[in-house]
Amino acid sequence: MKAQTHNLAIQWGAVDSKHFGVGNHPGDWNVWDTGDTRFDPPYTNRPAVLVTAVAPSNVPSTYPFPVGIARDITSEGFRLEARNSTNEPEGDFI
C-alpha cells in the first residue's frame, strides 16, 4: 500500500516520568496534565496520535511496562494516560 505524504506533519515530545504500581493493583494507572501534551502549533484537523513508553538504559527487566493511551484528541492536544501492563514490581517510568 502506498501512502500519500504531501500533508504529513510530525511532532514529538516527552513528558516527565510517573510512578507505576504493580499491574492490576492500586497505583498502576497514571494521567498526565493536558498542558504536557499540547501541539505547537495546533493542527488544522484532529491528527492521529501514536504513543510509546521509553525507559532509561539502566532500568532492570523487572520494572513496570506501561502502555500509553492518547485520549480526548483534538487539533490542539490530547490527554495522555498509561497503565502498567505487568505484575512486575513497581517503579518509575515514562
Chain segment 40-70, per-residue pLDDT in tens: 889 998 999 999 887 666 666 667 788 899 9
Neighbour-count burial of 60, counting CB atoms closer than 10 A to its CB (0-12 exposed, 13-18 middle, 19+ buried): exposed
In percent, the amount of the chain with pLDDT more than 70 equals 78
Q: What is the pLDDT of residue 74?
A: 94
Q: What is the pLDDT of residue 71?
A: 94
3-state secondary structure 24-58: CCCCCEEECCHHHHECCCCCCCCCCCCCCCCCCCC
Q: What is the pLDDT of residue 8?
A: 78
6 pLDDT band (50/70/90 cuts)? low
